[in-house]
Structure 1
Amino acid sequence: MESSLISSLLFWYLLLLLVGFITPFLKFLKHQITSKCKQTTSLPPGPKPWPIIGNLPEMLANKPTSTWIHRIMSDLNTEIACIRLGNIHVIPITSPEIARELLTKQDSIFASRPTNWSSEHVSFGYLSTIVVPYGEQWKKMKRVMANELVSPRRLQWLQDKRVEEADNIVRYVYNQCNKNGGGLVDARIVARHYSGNIIRRLVFNARHFGKGTEDGGPGFEEVEHIDAIFIVLRYLFAFSVSDYVACLRGLDLDGHKKNLKKATKLIMKYHDPLIEDRVQQWKNGKRTCEEDLLDVLISLKDANDSPLLTLDEIKSQIMDMMIATVDNPSNAFEWGLAEMLNQPEMLEKATEELDSVVGKKRQVQESDIPKLKYVKACAREVFRLHPIDDINATHVSMEDTFVANNTYFIPKGSHIVLRRQGIGQNPRIWKDPLRFQPERHLEKDNNNIDGFKNLSLNEPSLKLITFSTGRRACPGINLGSTMTIMLFARMLHGFNWSVPPNETTIDLSEIEGGTIKAKPLVALATPRLPAEAYEIS
């Protein structure tokens, strides 16, 4: 076994050395010469790299890469490290202070994204927002997002659609309470179904691509669509050897390209006909008023009264919105409910708050959200302890700089990786960091009736990563927060939840090498409100 591993590593080493020698060597040599005078301080600590190829052999031998990075930082007892992959310095960070410095004080330097096959493919050639490198195209699409798609005015315009989907998910769970062995409900299906419904309604003004199901649940098409989105999320930000050796970019050495191509093709199977048909409707005058975000994107005009966006830009931006909307709310609710089932006093405390604010004769509405401080604290605690992924979207340094009071040198082109779980579970910042404790987010304020300060899911201090901060912060903070809190509130207010029969606790294991719950949460749900409260319009 050991000799096989050594042979495999030697093979990769020789291959990478052969195919990647000339260009990386020249770039490396140029960088060494130009930056030598600047290195009065050292790079962050990390494993000793091999010549030219850096630590790629170790990355290939230690899957998944995120676990390997975590182990390196733990062994070195550091909150910032440097791992050289090819000629690129990858800088993982678990220090909130350094993270704030990068994304506030030095935000203009770290506002770009890496270029790689996955990002280029999903963004239709860097046409959208999330993964697009810093430049005029990114600025254009960010303005579209912030001013036209997720502005407060636009969110208010789309409120009725969100309420309809909150109503629908309550109806769906209510129907599940009367079947599946007496109310056994798969919380993962519920959460992902709700998130997918909302973004489909906001973009396409339709809950389903097909007919759905009679009980309000997802049909085959919706399940396939959401599954494909999560596959894209899995591989879009994954570490791939081809990303660090330019001449290997055309190869699919780890299978990421095949899986990503298949998933994006499936998503566009559902998106393209709707988008292309709608564009044609606007061209031939059959459609003249805006009903959803697709209409907004199509009807935008430039200074010459011509369409502001091309067809590919519209498709790319819709892909962005789909993958950015479904992951965090669904993951947060599933983990939050799992943790609360193991600590029933938290469920009781949340429902007491909901009953106090809402009562038992109606459903929770978005106007109730400001008063739901404990429910928001539960959601924040999930973002801290159980983020959807340990690795946040990568930032790229656009020039040489220094961080941490000039302690560490960060070369131009470095990939900055904020580790969400590493920051959220940093024992220097959080007492008892592995314990789920929503109360840690509640601060006393005697000027408020309930005795606590107002609370939001955003965290600019970066003591936990929610929507990040700076130029590359998520512009959909209000939409994401509203979706997350409404899902928590509707489910906890509308239903009693308990551990399934013949079980005593919920297994809180994570998938191997990841942060998603290993086993989908299935719990027993029963209605807790009078029957008339479920008569939703």
Structure 2
Amino acid sequence: MVFSYITHSSAAMATSSKFLHCRNPFLVSVLSIIIVYLLIKRWAKQKSSIRYPPGPLALPIIGHLYLLSSSLPKSFQALARRYGPLMRIHIAQSIFIVVSDAVVAKEVLKVHDAEFASRFEFGPAQYNIYKDAGFITGPYGSYWRFMKKLCMTRLFTGRQLDRFNHIREEEMVKLLKSLVKKSREGKWCDLSAELANLTNNLIFRMTMNKRFSKDNSEGNEMWKLVTELMGLAAKLGVNEVHGLLKKFDLFGNGKRLREGLERYDKLVEQIIKDYEENYGVDDGSGNEDLMDILLGIYRDKNAGLKITREQIKYFIFELFAASIDTSSAAIQWGMAELMNHPQVFKRLREEIDSVVNNKRVVKESDVPNLPYLKAIAKETLRLHSPVPIFHRECIKDCNINGFDLQVKDRVLINAYAIMRHPEAWSDPDTYLPERFLENSGGNRDQDFWFLPFGSGRRVCAGSLHAYLVMHGTIGSLVQCFDWKTKDGAKVDITVGSGFSDFLLLIISTLLLDLLVKSLRNSKSKGKYPPSPPALPIIGHIHLLKSGLPTSFATLARKYGPLMQIRLGAAKFVVVSNAKSAQEILRTFDTDFASKFQPGPTNYHIYEDSSFVNAPYGAYWRFMKKLFMTKLLTGSQLQRFTNIGEQETIKLIKSLLNRSKAGEPCDLTAELTEVTHSTIYKMAMGRRYSNNPSQAAEIRKIITVTLKYAAKFHLAEVFGPLKKFDLFGKGKRLNLTLKGYDQLIEQIMKDYQDNDLKYNCENDDEKDVMDILLETYKDADTEVKLTRDQIKNFFMELFMAGVDTTAAAIRWAMEELINHPNIFKILREEIDSVVGNNRLIKESDVPKLPYLQAVAKEILRLHPPSPFLRRLSNKDSKINGFDIQKGTRVFINVHMLMRDPNCYKEPEKFMPE
């Protein structure tokens, strides 16, 4: 190694010092990190075998935000001219795949329609009280398929829309009368407001016509709420693309959104209740509105899927939101274009006059004879699509246009660019309805160049209604009135998305995000379950305010049914709903067939001898088979039944003596005693009759072992503490286990020395020790049992008995004492079946359904083990998240069995 010593003049040193003083060292660090970030990202991309779509150069954190102008569709259109019809765009922390021509759109929406049948949720989901209740924005699944079928067969069929024809005609007459009045009085009209009122009244009457009043106060209130909420959602939508902002409600818009949704919920809940109260009452119209149909499905026990009130409420909300975004906006654009193109206006009026004359207003039945009106509607939708960009989510890896798209990739289909593409449309930016006349040639709908309402499975279910309203309204407005703007100028039809308003806010958080988020995300190799913010050293321990199951349940409500939790140095994945539990326990059962060892294995003398905590392998499978073929056979279970009945009689006699003497009893101690005696007799019944004191000694050892083991679980979550026996508990645990080993070893020797007991030919008289020692001696067994495995098996057997059976019975008695009415029903059932001449037997249980229900309800509210432990044997994907090999999983049984979606009043003791 060479050391060089460099000298500097005082002047040079002064200059250098001044230079360093003038520069911000924090900025230097940030720039260094950016360079490293770019190098790592480039290297990772080169190493990847996946062929991603092309895209512009992305900057750290902001991605391609610097390339986006105020109009997002126009920005994507400009980028697509350079990077192609399928490109990868980074908007801050979010990555999107943008489709910009019909050929690629056809691949996504037709060829691979099933792979893109879901939509990703874009917006402030954490503030939505109807989370997971959406249909329009809902994922592709059983609920979405059911609702789509309902829309296509009942809600928006041609027949159902025909039934609403009188509503559209009545509302159109109201609009025309209002405009006539303003015209006669020489007043200007706010056409946008008039059209918004029209579409609001239409959608309200279609949905809840029975609630419609002359002033439509409820409809107006709902329209104001929906408009307000959409505005708040739009302001929060920018947070979606920026990781840090998603966690903070910087300006209180999230709170206002939630409060607004709660006001909406209160309003629509009252409407639903009124419908339910008037169920079966004929209003004289003879027509069902949409609320009638939805509540009919809600009440139908034989429906293909049970919909909830929240789903009905949110479906109504989505209908109102869609009407604001589609019908009203489309008609406004249509009238704006007609006012700017008087020659088109004149030709349309002439067509209407030639078909309808001046004796009546144009009707929907006239539309088939008005091709130019239909062409105008289509041209308006081409230039001013209600949804210029619609979104999909990839639910299966696939190849599109030669590029790889992966599960969960978010796709934006730029309908604006597709419907203005020069390859399909001559003079694409010119308003030219003639292009849609029949003699113009080409079917743009089938060629995927015309997508105002989307296509494929996710095509807008209300598109037919939108066309009906658009044709009728534009036709009537052109037929009845001449139009001009207030200042005589043309209507301004330029549009900005408002996206740039948030650009400064996003950039202002760059430095903070760079330090906290960027490097961590760049190193990630998979999509892991979400996690709360963790503190150094302690992880999420500061969030555990009550019992572990309850604390995990509280966190799951915020972070989802599959979340990552760090307790000190220990990381776990916590499962909190039945769907994810089913994936682990059934779909991927073999991948999670092992359990992780939670306790102090370094002090356990039977390390690697466990059955309960054994990894999934030859020993575990052998012992499971032994259980099913020898330990739990019919004859063995009958023997265990006899033991149980004998111990129950002993318990009852003991309690009877205490009752006669007027003494209180420690029921916990009594139940622990009876369960331990029962298990001991099942395990080593022959030994018990000769030396009952050994049973008491084993019980004492088990109690001490459980006590010490529980104290060491704390050390499990702090890595360094596992190496130290700070308070001597490990030494005492080790000594206790050695005492148990000596005792159980003596029992095993006594069994082996006693030929009569060991060579018992009657299988019905064999206890568990007989069977295990017989297997131990058998040289032909597929797995050779060791003495340590037998000893630890009995240790686990006794520990499980103390922890489960006794605890469950104790909880049952506490609940029954606290609920005397249930106690009374149960006693009456037993008396009616058993009578007063004998005690209840196990053979009576099939005839005692309420007793069985009490037992199940006890186990639901007070499961012997509130968590199930599993260890991932291989990499897998659960609920869309990556679970790596070696991941420790907690299944929160406590929360699963108190889920309000499955159990009515889940916290109540209700055996019924």
Coarse TM-score class (shorter-chain normalised): 0.7 to 0.9
Is residue 459 of structure 2 the alignment partner of residue 473 of structure 1? yes
In 1, distance between residues paired with 2:118 and 2:202? 30
Aligned residue for 1:205?
209
Aligned residue for 1:43?
53
One-letter amino acid of the structure 2 residue matched with residue 418 of structure 1: I
Query: Pairwise CA RMSD of aligned residues?
Result: 3.8
**Conserved in 2, the CA contact under 8 Å of 1:357 and 1:371?**
yes
**Conserved in 2, the CA contact under 8 Å of 1:120 and 1:126?**
no
Is residue 283 of structure 2 the alignment partner of residue 279 of structure 1? no
91, 105, 112: which one aligns with 2:97: 91
In 2, distance between residues paired with 1:71 and 1:254? 32
485, 488, 510: which one aligns with 2:495: 510
In 2, distance between residues paired with 1:344 and 1:125? 47
Question: Displacement of 1:396 after TM fit?
Answer: 0.3
In 2, distance between residues paired with 1:442 and 1:462? 18
Is residue 223 of structure 2 the alignment partner of residue 229 of structure 1? no
In 1, distance between residues paired with 2:167 and 2:157? 16
Question: Displacement of 1:235 after TM fit?
Answer: 5.7
Identity %: 25
| Long gaps (5+) in structure 1 | 1-6, 22-27, 213-217, 446-451, 515-537
**Conserved in 1, the CA contact under 8 Å of 2:122 and 2:237?**
no
Question: Displacement of 1:148 after TM fit?
Answer: 2.1
Aligned residue for 2:381?
383
Question: Displacement of 1:200 after TM fit?
Answer: 0.7
Aligned residue for 1:412?
407
| Long gaps (5+) in structure 2 | 1-23, 500-912
TM-aligned CA distance change 1:467 to 1:258, over 3 Å: same
479, 499, 503: which one aligns with 1:493: 479
TM-aligned CA distance change 1:133 to 1:356, over 3 Å: same
Question: Displacement of 1:46 after TM fit?
Answer: 3.1
In 1, distance between residues paired with 2:111 and 2:462? 22
Question: Displacement of 1:483 after TM fit?
Answer: 1.0
Aligned residue for 2:394?
397
Is residue 311 of structure 2 the alignment partner of residue 313 of structure 1? yes
- What TM-score, normalized to structure 1? 0.75
One-letter amino acid of the structure 1 residue matched with residue 56 of structure 2: G
Q: 1:143-154 to 2 correspondence within 5 Å? A: 143-154=149-160
**Conserved in 2, the CA contact under 8 Å of 1:192 and 1:326?**
yes
TM-aligned CA distance change 1:431 to 1:136, over 3 Å: same
Question: Displacement of 1:413 after TM fit?
Answer: 1.1
**Conserved in 2, the CA contact under 8 Å of 1:424 and 1:465?**
yes
TM-aligned CA distance change 1:194 to 1:63, over 3 Å: same
Is residue 351 of structure 2 the alignment partner of residue 341 of structure 1? no
Segment drifting more, 489-498 vs 382-391: 382-391
**Conserved in 2, the CA contact under 8 Å of 1:241 and 1:253?**
no
In 1, distance between residues paired with 2:81 and 2:250? 29
Segment drifting more, 420-429 vs 365-374: 420-429
Q: What SS does the aligned partner of 1:82 have?
A: strand
173, 180, 194: which one aligns with 1:190: 194
Q: What SS does the aligned partner of 1:81 have?
A: strand
Is residue 136 of structure 2 the alignment partner of residue 130 of structure 1? yes
Q: What SS does the aligned partner of 1:320 have?
A: helix
Aligned residue for 1:437?
432
In 1, distance between residues paired with 2:464 and 2:48? 45
Aligned residue for 1:464?
450
TM-aligned CA distance change 1:61 to 1:340, over 3 Å: closer
One-letter amino acid of the structure 1 residue matched with residue 329 of structure 2: N
Question: Displacement of 1:466 after TM fit?
Answer: 1.5
TM-aligned CA distance change 1:469 to 1:367, over 3 Å: same
Q: What SS does the aligned partner of 1:91 have?
A: strand
TM-aligned CA distance change 1:42 to 1:510, over 3 Å: closer
Q: Deviation string for 1:446-482 (max 9, x for gaps)?
A: xxxxxx99x9xx9353313222111111112221111
Q: What SS does the aligned partner of 2:151 have?
A: helix
Q: What SS does the aligned partner of 1:471 have?
A: helix
341, 352, 355: which one aligns with 2:353: 355
Question: Displacement of 1:411 after TM fit?
Answer: 2.3
In terms of fraction of residues, the more helix-rich structure is: 2
Question: Displacement of 1:348 after TM fit?
Answer: 0.6
102, 112, 120: which one aligns with 1:106: 112
In 2, distance between residues paired with 1:68 and 1:444? 31
Q: What SS does the aligned partner of 2:90 have?
A: strand
TM-aligned CA distance change 1:409 to 1:129, over 3 Å: same
In 2, distance between residues paired with 1:342 and 1:72? 26
325, 328, 334: which one aligns with 1:327: 325
**Conserved in 2, the CA contact under 8 Å of 1:100 and 1:462?**
yes
TM-aligned CA distance change 1:111 to 1:349, over 3 Å: same
**Conserved in 2, the CA contact under 8 Å of 1:47 and 1:83?**
no
Question: Displacement of 1:287 after TM fit?
Answer: 6.4
- What TM-score, normalized to structure 2? 0.46
TM-aligned CA distance change 1:463 to 1:232, over 3 Å: farther
Q: 1:209-288 to 2 correspondence within 5 Å? A: 212=215, 225-233=222-230, 236=233, 240=237, 242-243=239-240, 249-253=246-250, 257-258=254-255, 260-261=257-258, 263-265=260-262, 267-268=264-265, 270-282=267-279, 286=281
In 2, distance between residues paired with 1:315 and 1:304? 21
The structure number with the bigger radius of gyration is: 2
Question: Displacement of 1:398 after TM fit?
Answer: 0.9
Question: Displacement of 1:120 after TM fit?
Answer: 7.0
Higher relative contact order (Cα pairs below 8 Å, separated by 6+ residues): 1
Question: Displacement of 1:135 after TM fit?
Answer: 1.2
Aligned residue for 2:86?
80
**Conserved in 1, the CA contact under 8 Å of 2:163 and 2:287?**
no
Question: Displacement of 1:88 after TM fit?
Answer: 5.0
In 1, distance between residues paired with 2:422 and 2:106? 18
TM-aligned CA distance change 1:466 to 1:187, over 3 Å: same
